[in-house]
Amino acid sequence: MGRTMRGDTLDVSVRDMKAVDIAAVAAIEAQVQPQQPWSVGNFRDAYMSFYTMIVAEVEHRIAGYAVVMVAPDVGELLLIGVSPEYQGQGVGRALMAEVEQRLANKGLATIVLEVRRSNLQAQRFYTQQGFAQVGLRKNYYDAGEGQREDALLLSRTFKQVDP
């Protein structure tokens, strides 16, 4: 399953993540999540657990990824990341559109996620995607040096595909 979409300035292809993609995805994760990035092992575990995992490619190069856990009533976006060289060019929007489509195809109409209170860039992206804050998880993230950071709980409801 995959499709090509036009980003702001790029043609973005989105497809299922393959096991061979995990190292490249983990490398992007390490760049964009300096605090507690998922490791190759974390990605491998999620892959083996059949989470919904997709990658975005630009000119046959992995430019971004998303990992979603599907529950009976909601999809939870666990991770989304775009390589710094491709940020702001529609790759993240292409990934979100594919995530939404896949959830809708499963009969779901809501996606939730947590984001660090300090991650203003991600918050702007999610707001542009139609997410709204629905809760707060106090001291959710490890902020290093014995400190904790709150997580904003965001949600978005979208149009469900008729079964």
Q: Domain containing 82 — which CATH number?
A: 3.40.630.30
- How far is CA 40 from each of CA 34, 62, 92, 116, 144, rounded to the nearest angstrom? 15, 15, 21, 22, 21
- pLDDT recorded at residue 107: 92
Residue 26 in any domain: the answer is: yes
Q: Which tops the pLDDT comparison, 140 or 160?
A: 140
* 70 domain-assigned: yes
Element (H, E) at 140: strand 132-144
When divided into structural domains, the chain yields a total of 1
Prediction pTM value: 0.89
CA distances from 110 to 5, 60, 141 (A): 22, 31, 23
| pLDDT-derived band at 3, boundaries 50, 70, 90 | low
- pLDDT of the residue at 145: 87
User: Is the pLDDT confidence value at 8 over 90?
Assistant: no
Q: In which domain, by residue range, is 27 found?
A: 2-157
Does any domain span residue 163? no
- 141, part of any domain: yes
Q: Which pLDDT belongs to residue 24?
A: 97
Mean pLDDT, the chain, whole residue set: 91
Residue range 23-78, pLDDT digits in tens: 999 999 999 988 889 999 999 999 999 999 999 999 999 999 999 999 999 999 99
Residue 162 lies in a domain: no
- In sequence order, what are the beta bridge partners of 143? none
Residue 1: pLDDT over 50: no
Predicted confidence at residue 58, as pLDDT, reads 95
Q: How far apart are CA 35 and CA 13, in angstroms?
A: 28
Task: Give residue 144's pLDDT.
Answer: 84
**Residue 83: inside a domain:** yes
